[in-house]
Amino acid sequence: MISFHSITKIYLSDVIALENISFNISQKEFVSIVGRSGSGKTTLLKLLLREERPTEGSIFFEGENLLEAGNKSLSEIRRRIGVVFQDYKLLDDKTAYENIAYAMEITGKSPEEINSEVPEILEIIELTDRANNFPKELSEGECQRISIARAIAHRPDVILADEPTGNLDPYCSQDIVRLLLKIYELGTTIVLATHDKNIVNKLKKRVITLENGKIIRDQEKGKFVL
């Protein structure tokens, strides 16, 4: 589904963010990308979204070369990818329900579809009773669940989660990972970038370990080892 072929990313200051990276991610796989801060995790995700371009190498999504994709094709690919950030990126002047609905509006969903599907999504993330609350009225863990809800609102094939538990306490972190596993079990590919050792070790899923921009380990049922 996702293929990185000999990817190298060098920034203008001659900083090598990624060096000769190659790996494949299959459909309906759960993969953790781990490493210390600065190891290249976020750069890797940005390349997959084509927010940045590699210095060398190729990236394929379902057989299509991302680096050669035109604007229309790239837009269609991005619609198949949901993104969860560390800092939530919610709209403060909209309720939980409205934040999810807005994400659906911009992907072209009809009012009827929105009215039907938002309650279903709120049920998946277990926040039906908080639908009319604004972000400032929600806990950080609840805000992150709304962020995940927005990411799955257009039913993507892949979720990219970039340090989604970085601002959360251990209890809320486990709650978020449990939700990601639930989404994975519903058939969505999950790519989780994290430096949370406890989460990775409990998942017992595939782990790709980055160090200084290189893959030093790729294990099917891996652990956080640095």
Distance CA 33, CA 42 (A): 9
Distance CA 226, CA 161 (A): 21
CB contact burial 195-208 (16+ within 10 A = b; e otherwise): bbeebbeebebbbb
Compute the C-alpha angle 180/199/125, nearest 5°. Answer: 25
Pairing label, strands 56-61, 64-65: antiparallel
Query: pLDDT by residue for the chain (226 residues), tens digit each?
Result: 999 999 999 998 889 999 999 999 999 999 999 998 889 999 999 999 999 999 999 999 999 999 999 999 999 999 999 999 988 889 999 999 999 999 999 889 999 999 999 999 999 999 999 999 999 999 999 999 999 999 999 999 999 999 999 889 998 999 999 999 999 999 999 999 998 999 999 999 999 999 999 999 999 999 888 7
The confidence score (pLDDT) of residue 162 equals 95
Q: What is the largest CA-CA distance in the chain?
A: 51
Q: Where are the beta strands (DSSP E) in the chain?
A: 2-10, 16-25, 30-34, 56-61, 64-65, 81-84, 158-162, 189-194, 206-211, 214-219
Q: List phi, psi (to 5°) of 152.
A: -95, 0
pLDDT in tens, 13-70: 889 999 999 999 999 999 999 998 889 999 999 999 999 999 999 999 999 999 999 9
Distance CA 86, CA 140 (A): 10
H/E run at residue 199: helix 197-203
The confidence score (pLDDT) of residue 190 equals 98
Neighbours of 121 (CB within 10 A): 22
Neighbours of 68 (CB within 10 A): 10
